[in-house]
Amino acid sequence: RIHYHEASMPLRQMTIDGNRTEGSDIDFLIDYSPAATIPIGSGVVEELRYDIPQGKYSELLLQWQPQEGMIFKVEGQFRNDNGINYPLRIELAVDGLMSIAYEGNALDFQGEKANGTIVLNVNDWFSNAQLGLLNNAELVQEDGVDVLLINPQHNTKLYQPIFTAFAKNPQHYWRIN
């Protein structure tokens, strides 16, 4: 029913703080000026590439600061119950700090490179009740095309639970492997 094609996140700053069980702790900051628009789901993103020193970490904290006033955008398709496909755009107003903490000797970097992966499962943002609302959602005309737009101004009954699901648990869309 829902398939996303691409997503992007406007990024102003990224910080990484790590507590190692042996050796010096780490912390560094990457400042993006001007803000970088990070594509998600398109493979390796050079703007997010970083090396974490080898060792066992009792805690690792990743934080992202989006560009103020910018949006996290997901674009895709929605197929309604009648089999009609509509372009879908979800615009999440993310003005605050997003952070993820890993704790308890969960991470062990010993000579092998680990990759941080941004994973979006847009379908997880919708409950069954919300999926039903999609069939009756307001469509917005953009260049003569009906678009299912979900943002703070359009389809607000869908927006609020989606935003809550997105903001509530960042581990749903980020992992280190």
- Model pLDDT for residues 111-143, shown as the tens digit of each residue: 655 556 566 666 667 666 577 788 899 999 999
11-18: average pLDDT:
84
Q: How confident is the model at residue 87 (pLDDT cuts 50, 70, 90)?
A: very high
Q: Identify the sign of the CA torsion 46, 50, 51, 52.
A: negative
Q: List residues bridging with 36 in a β-sheet.
A: 11
Q: pTM for this structure?
A: 0.73
Q: Which two tokens stand for residue 159?
A: 């927006």
Residue owning tokens 């307001």 = 138
Q: How confident is the model at residue 93 (pLDDT cuts 50, 70, 90)?
A: confident
**Which of the two residues, 10 and 78, has the higher pLDDT score?**
78
Using the predicted structure, report yes or no on whether residue 148 has a pLDDT greater than 90: yes
Q: Three-state secondary structure along 51-89?
A: CCCCEEEEEEEEEEEECCCCEEEEEEEEECCCCCEEEEE
Using the predicted structure, report yes or no on whether residue 13 has a pLDDT greater than 90: no
Compute φ and ψ for 58, nearest 5 degrees: -80, -20
97-101: average pLDDT:
70
The whole-angstrom separation of Cα 49 and Cα 67 is 19
Q: How confident is the model at residue 89 (pLDDT cuts 50, 70, 90)?
A: very high
Q: What angle do CA 125, 46, 25 make, to 5 degrees?
A: 85
